[in-house]
A = this chain, B = another copy of it.
Amino acid sequence: MSDLLSPAQLEARLREIGATRYHNLHPFHRLLHAGELTKAQVQAWALNRYCYQATIPVKDATLIARLDDPELRRVWRQRLVDHDGDAPGTGGIARWLALTEGLGLDAGYVRSQEGALPATRFAVQAYVAFVRERSILEAIASSLTELFSPTIIAERVAGMLAGYDFVSEETLAYFNARLTQAPRDADFALAYVLERARTPERQSAAIRALEFKCSVLWAQLDALHHAYVSPGHIPPGAFVPEEA
């Protein structure tokens, strides 16, 4: 059994997971941000990532449904607002659809998720199941990948604007909003985890929850890389880009 960590040590341990397992380290993201993908490959990324985006409020509502504390529910509810918006056409999911439309994909096709890789859906479902089935602490700790997202977003927006003539600041509007939302959310979740994980067992559970979440993100890029970067591996039924 591991030793009890101080809050500062636990935070360092959590940040170390980001430094070694967050998906900004994945080869697919390096290609995406370096402008080295084709438009078809960027389409495949946006199409698959839509499944993740569209499920995040379901994940958050799954957590809220388990919380007894009105204060905590109220704070977490902001995430629903951010993703689902206040009116049709607003919020993170709508901004993601603006991205996929900007890439030339039909919104109905994207929304249907029919062309998404099965592996994408499996990973996203595993995330919701984790939040439904594990402890509240683990469910909240699994959101801590947002600690690491400002870096990747900054790299992504700069890299994609420089590297691809088919993306614009408008199509990437999703990410601008996340630059302020993600740190606010991550600060809250981190404070919760540091305060509530005060035994070695609970600290270990929080650490493993964040590792799990990193694997949810990583597995999605593995599947994209295998299907759309390695030649000849698009699985039956999945999106086939026009130029492929």
Contact = CB atoms under 8 A, between A and B. Distances in A.
A27 B219 CA distance: 20
B122 A222 contact: no
Given A129-B125, A226-B222, A237 B118 contact: no
A118 B225 contact: no
A20 interface: yes
A230 B222 CA distance: 11
A211 interface: yes
Contact of A218 (B123, B215, B235): B235
Interface string A222-235: 11011100101101
A216 interface: yes
Given A215-B118, A222-B227, A21 B125 contact: no
A202 B211 CA distance: 40
B118 A119 contact: no
Which 3 pairs show the lowest CB-CB distances between chains A and B? A118-B215, A226-B226, A122-B122
Contacts of A236: 20-21, 214-215, 218
5 contacts: A27-B232, A119-B123, A119-B222, A125-B126, A211-B237
Contacts of A233: 27, 222, 225-226
A30 interface: no
Contacts of A214: 236
A121 interface: yes
B226 A230 contact: yes
B219 A122 contact: yes
Given A218-B235, A218-B236, 10 more contacts: A20-B236, A21-B237, A118-B126, A118-B215, A119-B219, A129-B129, A215-B235, A222-B233, A222-B235, A226-B230
Contact of A119 (B20, B119, B211, B237): B119
Contacts of A235: 215, 218-219, 222
A125 B20 CA distance: 26
